[in-house]
Amino acid sequence: MGIGKKALIGICIIASVGLVAAEEIGSIRPASHSDTLVAPSPKNATATEATKAETTPKEVPALAAPQTDPIVARPKLQPRDPTRGSVTNLPIPRYISLKGIEGNARRGPGLTHRIDWVFTHAGMPLKITAEYEHWRRVEDADGAGGWVHYSLLSGVRSALVVDDLANFRDAPEDDADVSFQAEHNVVGWIQECLPDWCRLSIGGEKGWVRKISLWGVDASEVIK
């Protein structure tokens, strides 16, 4: 083989080696970026959603409104009438009489309360000013008294003479004949009362006397 042919073969070999080297070098170059977006694979999508779920703040559930009991309409209590007894519903004040010859007036409505006064005039008129269970607060013509058990009191009406000497007449008239007289603090049983006069029974005698001479009956009270 001549020299010229050998030189040509060498040139061809060098060119082939260069071409191979160029292809190898080009194989390791980074591929050019494409402007086209590629959808992630299902595996990568699952990982992305998991990461988003962890990093996204969780919504706090709203607090439930506290349960309240339904409003029940209650009937309004009518205020108690102060002119009526809380136990008997009878008028307050009102007059009664002492049933026996003695009655203990206590400081409060109960046997444990001390005795402040003792009534000793049988049949004397008393005025009830308050009620509590079986007890009545009473006072006499002088304002003395206390709480007395109701069993010691009577609904039979009596009156006390407050004049030094009261004239009892045959009729409810100032010019009627005087049937008898009664001194201060004498007690009589009421038989009848008109707006201005009362008829009492005292020691077997009966007669009319003006109300202003008595304690134990209201000025406008009528008793039949």
E strands present in 33-144: 94-98, 103-106, 115-119, 125-132, 135-139
pTM flag (> 0.85): no
Domains of the chain are 94-154 (2.30.30.40), 158-215 (2.30.30.40)
Q: Tokens representing 171?
A: 């009729």
H-helix or E-strand spanning residue 81? none
Q: Per residue of the chain (224 residues), what is the pLDDT tens digit?
A: 444 444 444 444 444 444 444 444 344 444 444 444 444 454 455 545 544 554 455 555 565 666 666 676 676 767 888 999 999 999 999 999 999 999 999 999 999 999 999 999 999 999 999 999 999 999 999 999 999 999 999 999 999 999 999 999 999 999 999 999 999 999 999 999 999 999 999 999 999 999 999 999 999 899 99
